[in-house]
Chains A and B, each alone.
Chain A
Amino acid sequence: MGKRVLLIEDEPNIIEAIRFILSRDGWTVEVHSDGASAVDAVDRKQPDIVILDVMLPNKSGFDILRDLRAAPEHAARPVLMLTARGQKKDRDMAEAAGVSHFMTKPFSNSEMLDVVRGLAQQPTDGGDA
């Protein structure tokens, strides 16, 4: 069984495209679209990598990331953050919250694949944005 990605995103067509690209690359992609229950979803599914959108219904990606990093079992879990807001302050906020990688929309499929593959090869005892 391949490695597992949990995609936390609420745009159906982005979900479909990312799911297709990663599935073809051998990943098992699971999807969660609500911000409020996102940390529970990570608890349940224990994915190898989390792809996390910033703008989610009910809870922002930044808050979800902070909650994840506060929990010892998720402290080193690779988290790739997606955002349409590429301003420095957003990047700084993501880094301060402990993001592993920060990607600005729109991104190319190859870029997404490269980053996810790269995160999968990283040791899980620390992140590198």
Chain B
Amino acid sequence: MSRSALTGTRIRERRTLEGIKQADLARTVEISPAYLNLIEHNRRRIGGKLLIDIARALNIEPSALTEGAEAPLMEGLQDAASKMPQQKDAGGKVAPAPETARSEEFAGRFPGWAALVVEQRDRITALERRVEALNDRLAHDPFLSDSLHEVLSTVTAIRSTAGILNNAGEIDRDWQARFHRNLYEDSQRLAQGSQALVSYLDSVGKSEDTLSSPLEEVEAWLADRDFFLHELEQGQMPDIMDAPALRSASAKQLARRWVLRARAEAEKMPLSMVEAVVTEQGPDPAALAQTAGVDLPAAMRRLASMPAGGSFPPIGLAMCDGSGALIYRKPLDGFAPPRFGAACPLWPLYQALLRPMVPIRRVLEQHGQPPRRFLAYAIAQPLKPTSFEGPEIVEATMLFIPLDRIDLTPRENEVLGVGTSCRVCARTNCLARREPSLVLEEPEEG
């Protein structure tokens, strides 16, 4: 198993936290201070006995030095690199591409700069989406199109009429009066039309709903609350209307729909019941569904909405509709559904869509540094129809739990390798690959 190149950074952080001098730690583990310095700056890889010795000297488990919380940062960097267009300088020379093979080293040596790159990637993406939304609005918004047409038509009439009055020489008195009246009417129309247009554009400018989608606002709101809405446990509703993270009306509407369903599920599966099931049988959605008499997706959603820590392991959740579009994302460290674009088609979430009502349970290995394993449960089922005439709507749900937090040792041939999305996935020879990866060190064959 390859170790994260950020191990050195963690060693340095931990040593500083413990108040141990670099020279003292080097002496304790019997290496030179210069070599330790190289390790701490991620210039030398570390493993085996030396890693164990350093961890012991720092009073920490070796795994804590090799497995960090940098997965989102690394994925962000890879994604930022994948979106960089090929650029040429003034002399027509192609600018060098990001060294994606060294992104871990970059993040390890310059974590602040790396975080800035990812933050700017997020901001650029948000701004691009806003430009796209405004472009779309300019091209297709019927109100804007009609208003602009009205203003331009009125300006045309005013310009022609004023031109006639100014340049056409002698004009009959009746025609003069008519043109003056026309000018007056058109100036009134122009004032009203332009005022309405300005008000409309002003409201568009103030609206934040083009910066992020309603779903992203709901996810940000839930993430702020660690995906646990404690009010629901007392049968109450959380404050949606005044939540700062829920800016748009659409997001509030979406959040309300989510909360109403979560409240109904909290009533059927009280916290004490979920705790008892998890304590006795582990975080198994089938056990909870059977105990509470609910369907599997409801049990999965309820498990994923439990407070982190205590008797509950970290539990992630992804949901998609029949088109495969993700409609809910609760990420975990090492398993983050993509914010933009399509996810890995190998996820049991999508396999479940092929066989509605058939539960799937798989151990997944998320490609990464280091690879992380998860136990995933997935099922797709039709939503309750409101009439016999309506179309059949399917929703798939997938729960995932870090394998090291549950008592399960899978056989190696049962482990399914997956990724996040093709662009940032380094799995080789993947039959499900849609597009080339930007992080593959060697080209794929075939």
Mark A residues whose CB is within 8 Å of B: 11, 13-14, 16-18, 20-21, 24, 55, 84-85, 105-110, 112
Contacts and interface: CB of A to CB of B under 8 A. Distances in A.
A105 B168 contact: no
Interface size bracket, B side: 20 to 34
Interface stretch (B158-166, B199-207, B264-272): B158-166
B240 interface: no
Contact of B161 (A13, A85, A105): A13
B178 A109 contact: no
Q: Across chains A and B, which 9 residue pairs bring their CB atoms closest together, nearest first?
A: A17-B160, A84-B152, A13-B157, A106-B156, A105-B156, A109-B163, A13-B182, A106-B155, A106-B159
B365 interface: no
Contacts of A106: 152, 155-156, 158-160
A84 B163 CA distance: 19
Contacts of A107: 156, 159-160
Given A13-B157, A17-B160, A17-B164, A105 B152 contact: yes
A11 B164 contact: no
B21 interface: no
B428 interface: no
A20 B175 contact: yes
B258 to A, nearest CB: 41
Given A13-B185, A16-B178, A84-B148, A105 B153 contact: yes
Contacts of B149: 55, 84-85
Among B157, B159, B167, B185, max chain A CB count under 10 A is at: B157
A108 B178 contact: no
12 contacts: A11-B156, A11-B157, A13-B157, A16-B161, A17-B163, A17-B182, A105-B156, A107-B156, A107-B160, A108-B163, A109-B167, A110-B163
Given A24-B168, A109-B167, A17 B161 contact: yes
A6 B168 CA distance: 22
B186 interface: yes
Given A13-B185, A13-B186, A21 B148 contact: no
Contacts of B167: 109
Contacts of B160: 14, 17-18, 21, 106-109, 112
A108 B185 contact: no
A55 B168 CA distance: 28
A77 to B, nearest CB: 24
Given A11-B153, A106-B160, A107-B160, 17 more contacts: A13-B161, A13-B182, A16-B161, A16-B179, A17-B157, A17-B160, A18-B160, A20-B168, A21-B164, A21-B168, A55-B149, A85-B149, A105-B152, A105-B153, A105-B156, A106-B158, A109-B163
